[in-house]
Amino acid sequence: MNRRDFIQRSSWLSAGTLLAPYLAQATQKANPTLLVVSGWQDVNIGDIAHTPGLLGLLQKRMPASKIILWKKSKSQIVEDMLAKYYPKVRIIHGGVSKDHEPQSEEVLQAFREADFFLHGSGPSVIAADFLGSWHHKTQKPFGIFGVTTQNVTPGLKDLLQHASFIFTRETASIQKLKEAGLSGTHIAFAPDATFDLEIRDPENARQYMQANGLEPKKFICVIPRLRVTPYYKIKPGQAGWTEKRIKEVDTLNDTYKEQDHAKAREAMVAWVRKTGNKVVVCPEMTYQVDIMDELLIDPLPEDVKAKVVKHGYWLPDEAASLYAQAHTVLSFECHSPIIAAANGTPAFYLRQPEDTIKGQMYYDLGLADWTFEIMETTGQQIADRLMQVHADYKGATKNVKQSLARVDRQYDEAFKIMKSTMV
């Protein structure tokens, strides 16, 4: 009998045999054990950052709780990073079958130990299968923290009807839940957990700055992005990437990539020529390392190009430390501006229409002036706004602090609801 068969036939036997003592509602405790699911993928520092952001939030606001992290993806380098900053958090792995059966013994053990299941921040209820397994096998309570709910399928609605709370990372998702027939005081806005990212790697950032002649607050960072992420290049063979789909995505990206990035380059030119300072072109996703030159560097005038340096793919702790030293971050990706703001640095979100309703969070938090709908924006407007930030940097950093204060107020309300459920 192979290991999978053993788990399904022997370890589980039947749901009642091993889990009967755990099927009742979890006893409310002052020090609950939380099973947190997060870690969607490791080719994107934004997706990586969700996890330490939420772990930090939980440890600060519920310090007596014990945390088990059920990490959906596997990456030793990322898990080493998490262990460095959160050594008390136990990391487990394991999938679930279509009929809700956990496929690893460590997940089964976590089901026994945990009092509450918390789905972490992300682009959707991305671990609905994990959540469904927890609900069907334990009947213990669960909640959702800081997700986008753009598409509420009937199956997801059925599951969410049992949630103790549903916190969305922007207000647009609350409307989507209402349209699906889900409402109540347990549904609220709790910003993306990345806003509370506290991990730092100042030494690597310092070495990079020294090697590239960068001075604190005298350089900007710029992050590129194609309209639709070409996952067929990142994860060859991934389901859904037919030849037709690949052609459609490539055509869309090729149509807009120059038009979009020319606007960012206009701001880069203005920055270099008006301040004499440098630009760092850096990635949020792995594939962006390969498009930096084509879209942001090679077309620049030679005098500007001489002031541009690149950074390879990295982890969010180093990115956070470099963004903390940057003057401003300009990003087509959604999470680099959040990481920057969490470190007190002004940041522009150059929002492409394909990038889902998650962008509403910037408007919710008072950052409309730094959110540029790219189809409705000129390069001159981005450049002008950048130079306005430069002219009144004290006012710009005050704006960041005010937005972070809004984030904290939303977290305060969310944790009141969470604690009333868990303790």
User: What pLDDT, on a 0 to 100 scale, did the predictor assign at position 230?
Assistant: 96
User: What pLDDT, on a 0 to 100 scale, did the predictor assign at position 224?
Assistant: 98
Sheet holding 90-92, edge to edge: 90-92, 66-71, 33-38, 116-119, 142-147, 165-168, 187-189
Per-residue pLDDT of the chain (423 residues; tens, 9 = 90+): 333 332 333 333 233 333 333 333 444 677 899 999 999 999 999 999 999 999 999 999 999 999 999 999 999 999 999 999 999 999 999 999 999 999 999 999 999 999 999 999 999 999 999 999 999 999 999 999 999 999 999 999 999 999 999 999 999 999 999 999 999 999 999 999 999 999 999 999 999 999 999 999 999 999 999 999 999 999 888 888 999 999 999 999 999 999 999 999 999 999 999 999 999 999 999 999 999 999 999 999 999 999 999 999 999 999 999 999 999 999 999 999 999 999 999 999 999 999 999 999 999 999 999 999 999 999 999 999 999 999 999 999 999 999 999 999 999 999 999 988 875
Helices (H), 290-422: 292, 302-305, 316-325, 335-342, 360-364, 379-391, 393-422
| Cα dist from 18 to 22, 115, 207, 342, whole Å | 9, 16, 53, 44
Per the listing, tokens 């209820």 go with 125
CATH architecture of 8-197+408-422: 3-Layer(aba) Sandwich (3.40)
User: What pLDDT, on a 0 to 100 scale, did the predictor assign at position 1?
Assistant: 32
Q: Do domains 8-197+408-422 and 202-391 have the same CATH topology?
A: yes
Phi then psi dihedrals of residue 223, to 5 deg? -120, 125
| Cα dist from 124 to 46, 50, 144, 221, 388, whole Å | 14, 12, 10, 28, 35
Beta pairing partners, 36: 69, 118
User: What pLDDT, on a 0 to 100 scale, did the predictor assign at position 241?
Assistant: 94
Q: Report the C-alpha gap between 215 and 192 in whole angstroms.
A: 30
Two tokens at 387? 């130079």
| Domain definitions of the chain by residue range | 8-197+408-422, 202-391
Q: Selecting from 3.40.50.720, 3.40.50.2000, 2.60.40.1120, 3.40.50.150, what CATH number does the domain 202-391 have?
A: 3.40.50.2000
Q: What is the model's pTM?
A: 0.92
